[in-house]
Amino acid sequence: MLVRCAFIETYKTPFYCNNFSSHSTMSIYQATTSAPVNIACIKYWGKRNESLILPTNSSLSVTLSQDNLRSTTTARADPSFTADCLWLNGKVDPIKPGGRLHTCISEMKRLRAAFEAANPDQPKIASFNVHICSFNNFPTAAGLASSASGFAALVYALAKLYALPQTPEELSLIARRGSGSACRSLFGGFVAWDMGSDDVTGLDSKARQVAPESHWPEMEALICVVNDAKKGTSSTSGMQRTVVTSALLQHRIGYVVPSRMADIESAIADKRFGDFAEITMRDSNQFHAVALDTYPPIFYMNDVSRAIIAIITEYNRLSDQPKAAYTYDAGPNAVIYALTPNVREIAQLILYYFPQAEKIVIGGQEVEAALPEGFNEAVAKRWEVGSVKGLIHTRVGDGPRVLSDSEALLNAQGIPKVLA
C-alpha cells in the first residue's frame, strides 16, 4: 500500500533516532499491516544454528484469528529519516547492529534493492532509512508471545512498503531470522515450519501452509491466561540450554517429531480432531518434559497449568475421542483447541474451577460455570478468582492483512501517533 503525499512539515521530536531535515515536496512510502499469533501443536524448541535461527526439528501451528489477537505495524521509508527506528507499543526499541531486528530490516532492504535493480522504473527507496511502529493488541502482561506476530507484521509491512513480489513462503525465511516461530505467522490456517537441511543458507527452513483456515473453520481456541508470580526462563536462552544439556532432546528430534509431523498433517487433512488433539497434547507434554530434563531444569507450567491439564484429561475421558486439546508454550497459559460444538461446554468447565471476575460471553450468550454429566469433580480444586485472570475465545484465522492508511500507526511526520 503505497501512499503519496505532497508535503511534510519539519518536525522535531525528543526521540534520538527520528530527527530529520525538512523537505519541500516528496512522496510518502508507507504500508500498514497486521499479522496473527500462532500457537504450535508440534513445538519448536532448540536451534541447530543460532545465527540463522535454524531449528532442531520441524514444527506445526494453528494461526489464531486477528480479530482477537494481532500485531499491527506501519513501516515508512523516507530520505529525511536519519536512522532506522522502531517503536514497539509506543516505546523506542533499539535496532542493535547484528541483532534480529537489524537482520530483518537489512534483509528486506536487500530484497528491495534487488527489486529496484530488476525494475528500473521503481522509485529508489531501498537506501532510505525506515520508521517502523508496531503495536500488539494484547497486553504483554497476558504472557502471550508477541514476537511471532510482531516479526511477521514487521516483515509483511516492509514487503508491502517495498512492493516486493516475494511469496509468504519466501518472506517466512526473513521472519524466521527475527524470531523462529514468526515464520509460521506468515500464513493463515494450519502451518508447518519445515526445518530444512541446508545449514549454510537456511533457504529450505521455511513455513508452508498445510491447510487454509477455510479447511477447518470449526477449529476454535480458548486461551486461559494464567497468573504467574515468577518470570520464567526466556525461550531463547532456555532452548539452547536444553540443546546443550538434555539427554532426551536428541531422541525427540530424531525419532519422535518426524512421525508426529506426518501424523498431525494427516489428521488435519482428514479433520480427525481426536488424533489432532492427542498429538497436540503429547507434544506439549514432551516439550515441557525436555525443558524439565534440562540442567538446571526449566519449568513453564505451574499448579494452575497442571490443574487445567487434569480437567481436560478428565473431560476427554468422558468420550471415546478427545474433544479438547491443551497446549502450553514457554509460560503457564493454556491454549485449548476444540471444535465449535464443544467450546461452550469446555468454557463452562473452566469457569467452574476458575471463576472469573467478568462475564464470559461466547456466541453472544453468557457462559455459566457447569460440569458435564459424569465428570469427576475431584480432579482439581476450585481456585480463587484471578488464578486464571482471563479467558480469550478465538478461532483459526487468516494470514497477514494489509490495512488501510487510516489505520496507520505513524503520523504524517512519520512518528508514532501514540507513545507510551
Beta carbons of 83 and 97 less than 8 angstroms apart: no
- Region binding its own copies by CB under 8 A among candidate stretches 68-76, 112-120, 285-293, 387-395: 285-293
**Residue whose CB is less far from its own copies, 15 or 375:** 375
In three-state secondary structure terms, 101 is helix
Piece of the chain touching its own copies by CB under 8 A; list 195-203, 218-226, 251-259, 262-270: 251-259
Considering the rule CB under 8 A, would residue 339 count as an interface residue with its own copies? no
* 329 binding its own copies? (CB under 8 A): no
Is residue 286 a contact residue for its own copies (CB under 8 A)? Answer: yes
Least distance from its own copies to the Cβ atom of residue 315, Å: 11
How is residue 418 written as a grid cell? 501514540
Contact 396, 212 (CB under 8 A): no
Q: Which of 16, 52, 67, 27 is nearest to 161 (CA)?
A: 27
Q: Which one of residues 110, 251, 382, 417 is an interface residue with its own copies (CB under 8 A)?
A: 251
CB of 278 to its own copies, least distance (A): 7
Q: For its own copies, which stretch binds (CB under 8 A), given 110-118, 278-286, 348-356, 391-399?
A: 278-286
Q: Is 333 near its own copies (CB under 8 A)?
A: no
CB contact at 8 A, 302 and 252: no
- Among 70, 176, 252, 344, interactor with its own copies by CB under 8 A: 252
Query: Residues 343-382: x/- map of binding to its own copies (CB under 8 A)?
Result: -------------------------------------xx-
Distance CA 318, CA 360 (A): 24
CA dihedral sign of residues 158, 160, 164, 167: positive
Does position 26 bind its own copies by CB under 8 A?
Answer: no
229 belongs to the binding site for its own copies (CB under 8 A): yes
Cβ 155 vs Cβ 171: under 8 Å:
yes
Contact yes or no for 162/97 (Cβ under 8 A): no
Task: Check if the beta carbon of residue 206 is closer than 8 Å to that of residue 191.
Answer: no
DSSP codes of every residue in 360-389: -EETTEE------TT--GGGSPPPPTTSEE
Angle between the 100-118 and 147-161 helix axes, to the nearest 10 degrees? 20
Q: Does 296 bind its own copies (CB under 8 A)?
A: yes
Q: Which is nearer to its own copies, 167 or 250 (CB)?
A: 250
Which of 99, 297, 341, 386: binder of its own copies (CB under 8 A)? 297
Sequence-ordered list of residues with C-beta below 8 angstroms from that of 32, at least 6 positions apart, any chain: 1, 72, 73, 74, 75, 157, 402, 403, 404, 405, 407, 408, 409
Contact pick of 77, 191, 281, 335 for its own copies (by CB under 8 A): 281
Residue appearing with cell numbers 524466521: 176
Q: Which of 68, 227, 266, 285 binds its own copies (CB under 8 A)?
A: 285
Residue at 351: amino acid letter: L
Instruction: Give the binding range for its own copies (CB under 8 A) out of 34-42, 65-73, 117-125, 274-282.
Output: 274-282
Q: Which spans of this chain sit near its own copies (rule: CB under 8 A)?
A: 229-230, 247-248, 250-252, 255-256, 278, 281-282, 285-286, 288-290, 292-297, 299, 302-303, 306, 309-310, 313, 380-381
